[in-house]
Structure 1
């Protein structure tokens, strides 16, 4: 029998162990709840609290390095698996068990279980019950027109000879046609490809022409009818696992119609994307030849996503063809070192293809001009602000869910019972931040206001230049990412003056606008830090490039990348690096996302995604549909230089600037009304 002292020690030890277990259990529950909320918020996946046959496995998906071959055996140890669905690029999967009892067993056993994924990283699985599996998918189950893949086009012996024919040793005498880019080695034959202008100098062929072994192989392909023209330019790229090339269209004016690419050393998945947004992932097996002609060469972009694993068909091996997005038959395939031989024929005459909107040889439709007067400014805003937000309201709202800390801080600091107006409230994400305030929102978009009302917020439609609220009636106002949508200095100042009119004496207003400076105080904003495109890659993107949209909730420039027109900056404000003036007949440039701003007045693309009623779903597993192709819209912005917002506020009457600061790519001001004369 234990002595009282030992018994006390044992009881204390047991208590500590129980406390530790309780802490671990509470931590697990918090993470499980967080995973559940993340799935609902970002993917629309609704979990249920009761047991079903279907489980969603968070952290167990192709998107975070977990393959079918790795996950399925773990699941099968706990019961008979009817189906394992792994949506492409998603960090979750769905599993359906034969019985609810087996599903319960998996829920209890695997929740919180640590596994090692195919990337060698440890990850913890979080399981939740769902009534049905559902996911969203873009896809087209046919090759882009004019595209073909010929498998086993060369023998293993020829593959070895081709790879050995390329001498990667630096040759000081030949540096004009061998490049060592950041993420790959490149060598040119016949003509050098200049990445600074995405073209070749047709009057300066390189000595030696194409390697002799290539000549014999090309002649064979010509005789067999695999290709139509003998190329005179070759670019050899060597890709390490994890490296890729941005989506691009080979410059129309540089090369003829037919472009061919031989894959050696390893297979790869190449993504083809139509301007409407349809993406087709195509498997290029080792020793296969990709042939692009017509629409696939001139209109669709092609690129390789930088990653170490590709999503491939589990049951079809590595044969060429479209990755069908059959979520019941997808897994991961580890990349190897791949060398591509891309052959082209240099064009000697201008391109007259059937795709003038993406052809650098044919005149493009000019972008809208900078407004010369108030009427033109109003028309520009109507077309490139008001109309666009009506079209994209639903998708825009789905990307606006995380409040900014400094704005929350401002609202939380206001006295209880304050009347606050959110001018340009969007989907109303700030209207419910502080329950002790009386908040009302307004926006120019009827569809965004409808979303606010669905969320039980008080909101109405109006123009920010004429808000139907009595003067001096508000204790505070906020204007977040609104003023930069007005197209002239006068209209921007008028929007600020309208905020002041609404304030009572002593009332405060918080204003956010996009900043021209995305690098400030030696720090890059997340807008640039999220950019995974190296300078070398950016050089390789031709003027016809359309890179996939990259959405970031809190940063400016959200939308897909698009072509950029080279024009001078067209703002009249002069301050530091923004000392520029509008030229005659200036056209508005289209901004390339994830890059620094080169003009203060510009159009920012928004690639619309999402189409209610088109999501894939199963009851729990059944017939599915697909998304329609989606358009690209362009929104007008005036990005502010350092000091410009303060200068505009100082032009207002009866205003004192309490604070000005920079917040992740935005210039921000807190001002206070000091008189009741307004």
Structure 2
């Protein structure tokens, strides 16, 4: 089967509901876009060295922000080239908001809380050495991913991902992402603000993701703060791989430990092809 090209030659999209990309806006008109909902937003910038969120308009204002770990130059230029060229040999499926994706993981119905192994054949072979490298970092000790999702963003498609929280019924504590081909910014948001700091309105924290870096979200940054990639922060083609581990329910001692063991055995065979 011939894979589609890696550029912007897409004439249709997979946007539904309020989601939009530049392709459907050109075809159908902009329509009603989702409103921000917050008249005032307090903007902060994450500093990976001090692990502080620093207010953009007043550097004297800052607060500790645990739950974010950034590993710059996690992969080399040669590894980046090999990873992305291998991805481009497989089919990219259209996804919402101008993204394209490749899934390596079980079929999941989050509403009904059902997991099917289906055609899941494991994570891709090239991820094996990357996972071993991740596990050398103390904050990723014992990290065993059971799902990998590759996403392709392009400015000419208006690619983005809306603010959201990842599922915590199936997926565990740590979300790990490798950022490739271009720098971008991840925006963490908290609609209810931080009243304890006198910030009653929405708070945004910009986390700059350098090309070839690895990002880990855990704790409140994973469970409390929504994360997004805004359209205006995608300046060139961006490819990322996100790895997810199992929640306690699917590990030893959990109610679905047997299914979890099956999923891990498949995932860590590293013989996978996209579903």
The corresponding residue for 1:285 is: 210
Determine whether 1:337 maps to 2:234.
Answer: no
Shift of 1:286: 0.5
SS at match of 1:163: helix
Conserved? CA contact 2:41–2:204, under 8 Å? no
The corresponding residue for 1:121 is: none
Picking from 246, 251, 258, the partner of 1:346 is: 246
SS at match of 1:159: helix
Shift of 1:161: 1.5
Using a 3 Å threshold, how does the CA distance of structure 1 residues 200 and 264 change in structure 2: closer, same or farther?
farther
Conserved? CA contact 1:198–1:251, under 8 Å? no
CA-to-partner distance for each residue in 1:610-639, whole Å, 9 max, x for gaps? Answer: xxxxxxxxxxxxxxxxxxxxxxxxxxxxxx
SS at match of 1:187: strand
SS at match of 1:158: helix
Partners in 2 of 1:163 and 1:147 — Cα distance?
25
The corresponding residue for 2:93 is: 179
Conserved? CA contact 1:192–1:200, under 8 Å? no
Picking from 135, 154, 158, the partner of 1:222 is: 135
CA-to-partner distance for each residue in 1:84-139, whole Å, 9 max, x for gaps? Answer: xxxxxxxxxxxxxxxxxxxxxxxxxxxxxxxxxxxxxxxxxxxxxxxxxxxx8613
TM-score (structure 1 length as normaliser): 0.25
Shift of 1:237: 0.4
Determine whether 1:264 maps to 2:189.
Answer: no
**CA-based RMSD:** 2.6
The corresponding residue for 1:273 is: 189
Select between 206-215 and 235-244 the one with higher mean Cα deviation.
206-215
Determine whether 1:207 maps to 2:120.
Answer: yes
The corresponding residue for 1:148 is: 69
Determine whether 1:236 maps to 2:236.
Answer: no
Structure that is richer in helix per residue: 1
Picking from 255, 263, 279, the partner of 2:171 is: 255
Conserved? CA contact 2:44–2:206, under 8 Å? no
CA-to-partner distance for each residue in 1:500-552, whole Å, 9 max, x for gaps? Answer: xxxxxxxxxxxxxxxxxxxxxxxxxxxxxxxxxxxxxxxxxxxxxxxxxxxxx
Conserved? CA contact 1:219–1:230, under 8 Å? no
Picking from 72, 76, 85, the partner of 1:164 is: 85
Partners in 2 of 1:219 and 1:199 — Cα distance?
33
Conserved? CA contact 1:191–1:201, under 8 Å? no
Shift of 1:256: 0.4
The corresponding residue for 1:304 is: 229
Picking from 133, 136, 139, the partner of 2:43 is: 139
Using a 3 Å threshold, how does the CA distance of structure 1 residues 198 and 248 change in structure 2: closer, same or farther?
farther
Using a 3 Å threshold, how does the CA distance of structure 1 residues 223 and 169 change in structure 2: closer, same or farther?
closer
Conserved? CA contact 1:202–1:348, under 8 Å? no
**Which structure has more RCO (C-alpha within 8 Å, separation ≥ 6)?**
2
Conserved? CA contact 2:176–2:217, under 8 Å? yes
Shift of 1:350: 8.0
Partners in 2 of 1:305 and 1:297 — Cα distance?
18
Partners in 1 of 2:112 and 2:218 — Cα distance?
19
CA-to-partner distance for each residue in 1:417-448, whole Å, 9 max, x for gaps? Answer: xxxxxxxxxxxxxxxxxxxxxxxxxxxxxxxx
Structure that is richer in strand per residue: 2
Aligned residues: 182
Conserved? CA contact 2:68–2:215, under 8 Å? yes
Conserved? CA contact 1:192–1:205, under 8 Å? yes
Partners in 2 of 1:168 and 1:233 — Cα distance?
20
CA-to-partner distance for each residue in 1:258-312, whole Å, 9 max, x for gaps? Answer: 01011001111111012422110111110011100111111100001123xx4xx
Gaps of 5+ in 2: 1-39, 46-51, 54-64, 194-201, 252-275
- Largest Rg, 1 or 2: 1
Shift of 1:190: 2.7
Shift of 1:160: 1.1
Partners in 1 of 2:68 and 2:227 — Cα distance?
11
Partners in 2 of 1:247 and 1:137 — Cα distance?
14
Using a 3 Å threshold, how does the CA distance of structure 1 residues 205 and 338 change in structure 2: closer, same or farther?
same
Determine whether 1:188 maps to 2:103.
Answer: yes
Partners in 1 of 2:111 and 2:153 — Cα distance?
20
Partners in 2 of 1:219 and 1:289 — Cα distance?
14
Partners in 2 of 1:208 and 1:236 — Cα distance?
16
Conserved? CA contact 1:189–1:233, under 8 Å? yes
SS at match of 1:212: coil
Partners in 1 of 2:78 and 2:113 — Cα distance?
32
SS at match of 1:232: strand
Gaps of 5+ in 1: 1-135, 171-177, 311-333, 352-678
Shift of 1:168: 5.5
